[in-house]
Structures are given as structure tokens and as C-alpha cells.
Amino acid sequence: MDWYSAIFELIDMRSFSNLWYWIALAVLWSTTSHWVLGVPWDMIQRAGRHGGEAQVDLEDMVRINCNRLLYIAGVSGLWLLGLVSGLLTSLAMLGFWYGIEFAQAVFLLAAPMTLVGALSLNTARIIRDGGLTGDGLRRRMMRHRIQTQVVGMLSIFVTALWGMYQNMSIGAIGS
């Protein structure tokens, strides 16, 4: 047995029947929901509980991350939009038109993350343009986190349904 066969036996390339795919999906959404615009959720909670220096630190970190996101979007937003839409289109075509399960799995990870990216840009623009601070900033960050969690729940639900369908249809063909 060569190394190529050994690796592909160890790592099942049928993504939806692979435990590692589901672990990666859970870690992706857990991490995405914890880091709100690049700010850890516990920092937002601490600023709400203690105020003072914790609130100043939160406002500084949010300002830095919002300015960074909006600068990147302003400088290379159209290029990123073109590249991401091309990549998602390629994954969708390979996955759902040509039936490549790995492309389906990656698409089901990447497509909702682009929606979260768009929500993040929108939230960053609202925070910067509104000059949000204090309680208003924390409420906006909480709203963004809830929106991200809703996208994550829908994504996990759709991915689980599609994965079960794939596993049952492949299981029915194999028997």
C-alpha cells in the first residue's frame, strides 16, 4: 500500500460521512460566533459589567477593527468580491452540477461565511458612521452576534439535511 492510499483511507474524502467535517463545521461556527467583528465576546460582556477601562478597551478595539475592515473593503473590495464570487460559483458548479461531494462540502462552509462577511461590513459601517459608543455599541455588537448565530444555525441545519441526503443516497446506491 502506498502513502497516497493510506492517507485517503485515513481521511475519507466523502465529506458528509467524515467526522472531521462535522467537527470543522462546529468549530467554524463556534469561533465565528465568539469573535464579533474581531472582538472576543467575553470582552464585550466585561465592558457591559464593569464599564470604565474595559469599555474604553472595547471601543478602541472595535474602532481599530471597523476601520481595518472598511479600509480593506474600500481598497480591494471589488477584487475580493470578484474572486469570492468566482470561487463560490466554481464550488457550486463542481459540487451541485458535477456532483463532487468535496466541493459541496466546501461550498456549504464558505457560502454562509460570505454572508457573515457582508453582515460584518454593514455593522462596521453602521458603527463608524453612527459613532457608536457605550451601551449603543454593545447593543449593536450583540445584534451582529445574534445575526451571525442565526446564519450559523440555518447553515448547520441546511448542511445537516444535505449531508444526510447525500449519505442516504450513496448508501442506497452502494447496497
pLDDT tens, residue by residue, 128-169: 999 999 999 999 999 999 999 999 999 999 999 999 998 888
Q: Supply 7's cell numbers.
A: 492517507
Name which of 112, 115, 119, 155 is nearest 140 in CA terms. 119
Distance CA 104, CA 82 (A): 20
With a pLDDT cut of 90, the percent of the chain lying above it is: 79
Q: Is 39 exposed, middle or buried, given 0-12, 13-18 or 19+ CB atoms closer than 10 A?
A: buried
Scan for cell 480593506, then name that residue.
Answer: 72
Q: Say if CB 140 and CB 127 are below 8 A apart.
A: yes
Question: Could you tell me the pLDDT band of residue 20, with boundaries at 50, 70 and 90?
Answer: confident
Amino acid letter at 77? G
pTM, whole model, 2 decimals?
0.85
Q: Is residue 54 over pLDDT 60?
A: yes
Cell 467537527 maps to which residue? 23
Output the pLDDT for position 140.
96
Q: Is the pLDDT of residue 62 over 70?
A: yes
CA 18 vs. chain centroid, Å, equals 20
Q: Check pLDDT > 60 for residue 12.
A: no
Q: What is the largest CA-CA distance in the chain?
A: 65
The pLDDT of residue 1 = 60
| Half-sphere exposure for 24 (CA within 13 Å, toward CB) | 13
- pLDDT at site 3: 73
